Chain A
């Protein structure tokens, strides 16, 4: 094989490589344009997530979790429930005045004490739920449809319509910069809630509570949940 023929072959291969890449980009663009909201991605960084965040401080629960003698609320699946919070079960009843005071649903502490984003445990998430704090579900919309915390908003951090969903949430709830917002995903090493919190922090919300145990922990605690689309 002559050098000239070899160069020609290499050029042809390089051109074919470029054509394959171009076809892939074109097909990706077309498929993304035709995809539904839950399968679509923004091509550029509008919803690109931030890097993984270091572990956040966990605030100890300010009231004891329900004891085994206390009846825990039963899981309730409300088909087709609306996005706004549903009537909540009564909080646990304590016998002593001090315990009763501790068990009252109160607003989470101000953000200045612990920083704008922090993780919360199950009992504090339950208190926030009773205090009618908004809950944002950062998981994929398909997971939300399968089951979510009652009244939670579907805000899948990886889907292209996140901005629209957040606009709807803000328009309906009108949260102030210091109002508590609870964010959750699947618990464990799920980072979606942290990504959504980082995004909301950039938008000027300074009281973001990440429910560490996520939806599996919520269901395991026997707290109310819904199923179905937002």
Chain B
């Protein structure tokens, strides 16, 4: 028997809402990048964190990974694998933004495709908001991971068998 708070936080409906929201965000983030890989490569380059040889493979593969993970979350397929990737990607995005914020290097996030030109101050403000948004998304991912853990799946299977 779970404590009431944990029972409420890991309720299947909350999990469904979390994975649909997270899935839609990742699908929405992937589509503009898929439409313009060179623009995304340029956005990655602006972070000044990756070696030049890795820019194009990242720009070509990452949007598809986001799309597949978003679709898997929305459809409820391979939930743990998709959420693991989403968590890893969100942690990487947070780290990239935080490093550039610490070194006061304003970059366009590139999260949802190419953005309109902005001033350095606007970019830094956007980066802070993007970091907060990614941390919020990480909470959703954590909920899905906890609710769809091996123990939870077993318990769900047991309930299904009893019914």
Contacts and interface: CB of A to CB of B under 8 A. Distances in A.
Interface of A: 1, 5-6, 9-10, 13-14, 16-17, 19-21, 23-25, 27-29, 31-32, 35, 38-45, 47-52, 140, 156, 158-160, 186, 188-189, 192
In the A-B complex, the 5 residue pairs with the smallest Cβ-Cβ separation, listed nearest first, are A16-B81, A24-B65, A28-B60, A48-B52, A24-B64
User: For chain B, which range describes its interface: under 10, 10 to 19, 20 to 34, or 35 or more residues?
Assistant: 35 or more
A17 B81 contact: yes
B64 A16 contact: no
Interface string B53-76: 101110111111101110010000
Nearest to A15: B81
Contact of B56 (A5, A10, A42): A42
Nearest to A7: B150
Given A1-B150, A20-B65, A23-B68, A41 B85 contact: no
Contacts of B34: 31
Interface stretch (B9-17, B39-47, B124-132): B39-47
A13 B150 CA distance: 10
A21 B65 contact: yes
A41 B56 contact: yes
Nearest to A186: B117
A140 B45 contact: no
Contact of A45 (B35, B48, B53, B65): B53
A16 B68 CA distance: 12
A216 to B, nearest CB: 9
B151 interface: yes
Contacts of A49: 45, 52, 55
Interface in B74-108: 78, 80-82, 84-85
Given A32-B60, A41-B59, A50-B52, A17 B85 contact: yes
Contacts of B63: 28
B38 interface: yes
Contact of A39 (B36, B61, B84, B151): B36
A32 B154 CA distance: 41
B69 A159 contact: no
A31 B150 CA distance: 35
B38 A43 contact: no
B113 interface: no
B38 A41 contact: yes
B37 interface: yes
B65 to A, nearest CB: 4
Given A13-B80, A20-B81, A52-B48, A39 B37 contact: yes
Q: Which of A13, A156, A158, A189 has the most CB of B within 10 A?
A: A158
Q: Which of A13, A156, A160, A188 has the most CB of B within 10 A?
A: A13
B53 A48 contact: yes
A206 B121 CA distance: 36
Contact of B41 (A38, A44, A158): A158
A20 B72 contact: yes
Contacts of A52: 48
A22 B137 CA distance: 24
